[in-house]
Amino acid sequence: DTGRIRNAALARKVVPADQAAALIRPGDTLGMSGFTGAGHPKAVPELLAQRITAAHAAGEPFQVDLWTGASTAPELDGALAAADGIGLRLPYQSDPIARQKINAGEIDYVDVHLSHVAQLAWEGFLGPLDVAVVEVSGITEDGQLIPSSSVGNNKTWLDLAERVVLEVNSWQPAGLDGMHDVYYGTALPPNRRPVQLTRPGDRIGVPHLRVDPDKVVAVVETSAPDRNTPFSEPDDTARAIAGHLIEYLEHQVSVGRLPAELLPLQSGVGNVANAVLSGLQESRFEQLTAYTEVIQDGMLDLLRSGTLASTSATAFSLSPTAIADFNAHVAEFRDRIVLRPQEISNHPEIVRRLGVLAMNGMIEADLYGNVNSTHLMGSRIQNGIGGSGDFARNAYVSFFLTPSTAKGGAISSIVPMVSHVDHTEHDVSVIVTEHGLADLRGLPPRKRARLVIDNCAAPEYRPLLTDYYARAERGAHGRHTPHLLAEALSWHTRYLETGSMLPG
């Protein structure tokens, strides 16, 4: 579809994808587009993986360092990880092959707050960026880039990279043009100015990305779908979690702590987040807004029904059915969805100003409200912190949601002490499981512990938690946050030794 490339000079740079992949050298640092499976390059990474495999077969070393917006797809993270082609990966990933190699110690992984990445790169702290490989949905006559289904860190990669490879994907709906708001007002301290965004739907930037045409070494045409994230109907546990949360929000409105249309919502992805969005659909709330990271299926339904008036994000994360529906009706959504660079979609200044209600999944929480979002049994990374920290620390109310157990009840998600900390007790307002909700705000540690045990823990783990806590209260070095250090992580070690956190 050459109709997508309307700039003559860039049209002359169109090459087959393997020629573009051949421009990447061993040892290069690559900044690729892609966020939650949306807007990643579809052709060059896989061909690069093939080159790497061939080089390794010939006994030649070939690895690259890989930066993105967030998670990508099997044909990017999966293919490069399978080829042993990644030296260092940042700032977030969720691919099973890459996860296995990271946990085997074969890929270095830097797990970064998603709003911090651009600043770290600009500061020069991560080293130079050799090549940007960025998917766009089109190129205008004057050589500007129409972003695709995610914005992520693309602005930063295009500005910083020494060489640029563009993938123009004609599968992306042409109607995306106009939906993006690329803010070029960021600067490094001491030259930063306030980000003048006061409502989730505000537009403060421009619709297109800029690129220095002299840096563009190749343009590749593709027509391939984003990653298909299948949508599963929420199960009973997820529905129960959503129910507690929505009841709580209704109560906060009734006592005057939140306005009737709430405050802008941030919602994580996954089964529980979907259940919350479905629950909102059935609630009496209307004219809500969202200031979030990702737009998932449930958000489109909420926009369509009017429950949600507008939403800001950096990317889509849709199921195949929702993608088809969205692509057929882009015009209907265009004025009510704004896609921004992730440094703005997740900006602490804006999250604080708007008073975002942040709702994120977690792996485990402890008696005092510390939350682990990333590591299984303290050392095995699942995905990464993503945007959860950007939102949680700066939110008006920060909710963390999880089923009370994992692995069929062999693991309690409420533990004496978390085995890794992503969100400290100071950043966590409310913990929700299928059994209930604990509002920890304003409570001292010992009151928190009682509430978390009584309201959130699974019934089979409550006596064990109560017993630990009672003995800690008596035997701890201090009674402010009572712990028995020799025992605090014993539930995790018991699981590793016996396959269950339950004794005997």
Are 424 and 388 in contact by the 8 Å Cβ rule? The answer is no
Q: Is 153 annotated as a binding residue?
A: no
Question: At its nearest, how many Å lie between ligand 0RQ and the CB of residue 109?
Answer: 14
Q: Is 268 annotated as a binding residue?
A: yes
- The single residue among 31, 41, 173, 386 that binds ligand 0RQ, judged by CB under 6 A, is 386
In eight-state DSSP terms, residue 227 is P
Question: At its nearest, how many Å lie between ligand 0RQ and the CB of residue 392?
Answer: 9
- The single residue among 149, 388, 404, 433 that binds ligand 0RQ, judged by CB under 6 A, is 388
Rounded to 5°, angle at Cα 423 from 419 and 428: 120
Who contacts 63 (Cβ-Cβ below 8 Å, separation ≥6)?
A: 26, 27, 52, 84, 85, 86, 87
Of 123, 49, 116, the C-alpha closest to 83 is: 49
Confirm or reject binding of residue 201 to ligand 0RQ (CB under 6 A).
no
Residue 141 is among the residues annotated as catalytic for this protein: no
Q: How far apart are CA 388 and CA 95, in angstroms?
A: 18
Out of 75, 167, 221, 293, the active site residue is 293
Q: Is 363 annotated as a binding residue?
A: yes
- Residue 425 vs 434, nearer CB to ligand 0RQ: 434
Cis bond leading into 200, ω under 30°? Answer: no
Are 84 and 56 in contact by the 8 Å Cβ rule? The answer is yes
Who contacts 38 (Cβ-Cβ below 8 Å, separation ≥6)?
A: 148, 149, 150, 226, 227, 315, 316, 317, 318
Question: At its nearest, how many Å lie between ligand 0RQ and the CB of residue 187?
Answer: 26
Of 312, 275, 93, the C-alpha closest to 195 is: 312
- The single residue among 137, 383, 433, 481 that binds ligand 0RQ, judged by CB under 6 A, is 383
Are 170 and 222 in contact by the 8 Å Cβ rule? The answer is yes
Tokens, residue 463? 């006596």
Confirm or reject binding of residue 425 to ligand 0RQ (CB under 6 A).
no
Confirm or reject binding of residue 268 to ligand 0RQ (CB under 6 A).
yes
Binding mask 23-52 for ligand 0RQ (x = CB under 6 A): -------------x----------------
Q: How far apart are CA 281 and CA 294, in angstroms?
A: 18
Stretch touching ligand 0RQ by CB under 6 A, among 126-134, 146-154, 160-168, 269-277: 269-277
Q: How far apart are CA 136 and CA 375, in angstroms?
A: 34
68-107 residues in contact with ligand 0RQ (CB under 6 A) are none
Q: Is 272 annotated as a binding residue?
A: yes
Q: How far apart are CA 500 and CA 504, in angstroms?
A: 9
Question: At its nearest, how many Å lie between ligand 0RQ and the CB of residue 35?
Answer: 9
- Residue 38 vs 132, nearer CB to ligand 0RQ: 38
Stretch touching ligand 0RQ by CB under 6 A, among 12-20, 76-84, 292-300, 462-470: 292-300
- Residue 11 vs 406, nearer CB to ligand 0RQ: 406
Question: At its nearest, how many Å lie between ligand 0RQ and the CB of residue 72?
Answer: 14
End-to-end CA distance of the chain: 64
- The single residue among 11, 224, 406, 502 that binds ligand 0RQ, judged by CB under 6 A, is 406
- Residue 38 vs 160, nearer CB to ligand 0RQ: 38
- The single residue among 258, 280, 362, 431 that binds ligand 0RQ, judged by CB under 6 A, is 362
Q: CA dist 170 to 21, 42, 442, Å?
A: 20, 11, 52
Q: CA dist 69 to 9, 114, 132, 216, 293, Å?
A: 28, 8, 12, 20, 11
Strand stretches in 86-130, DSSP E: 86-90, 108-109
Confirm or reject binding of residue 311 to ligand 0RQ (CB under 6 A).
no
Stretch touching ligand 0RQ by CB under 6 A, among 13-21, 135-143, 320-328, 399-407: 399-407
Instruction: Please state the residue numbers annotated as binding site for CoA.
Output: 268-272, 363, 383, 387, 407
Where along the sequence are the contacts to ligand 0RQ (CB under 6 A)?
36, 268-272, 292-294, 360-364, 373, 376, 382-383, 385-388, 403, 406-407, 411, 413
* Residues belonging to the active site: 293
